[in-house]
Amino acid sequence: MSEERAAEIFRALIMRRESRRALAARPVECEKLRAMLEAARWAPSYGNMQPWRFVLVQEPAALDAMRPAFTPGNAWAKQAPVLVVGTANPQDAKIVAGKEYYLFDLGLAVQNLLLQAVACGLVAHPMGGWDEQTVKQALGVPDEVRVVVVIALGYPGRLEELDEETRRKEQQPRTRKALAEIAFADRWGRPWDAGA
Binding residues vs ligand FMN (CB under 6 A): 18-19, 74, 126-129, 149, 174
Other beta carbons within 10 angstroms of residue 30's beta carbon come to 10
Question: Shortest distance, CB of residue 94 to ligand FMN, whole angstroms?
Answer: 21
Question: Shortest distance, CB of residue 8 to ligand FMN, whole angstroms?
Answer: 20
Nearer to ligand FMN, 158 or 174 (CB): 174
Q: What CA–CA distance (Å, rounded) separates 187 from 13?
A: 31
Question: Shortest distance, CB of residue 71 to ligand FMN, whole angstroms?
Answer: 7
Nearer to ligand FMN, 5 or 158 (CB): 158
Question: Shortest distance, CB of residue 120 to ligand FMN, whole angstroms?
Answer: 17
CA dihedral of residues 111, 113, 118, 124 (deg, nearest 10): -80
Residue nearest to ligand FMN (CB): 129
The single-letter DSSP state of residue 9 is: H
Q: Strands of 79-122 (E only): list them.
A: 82-88, 95-96, 99-100
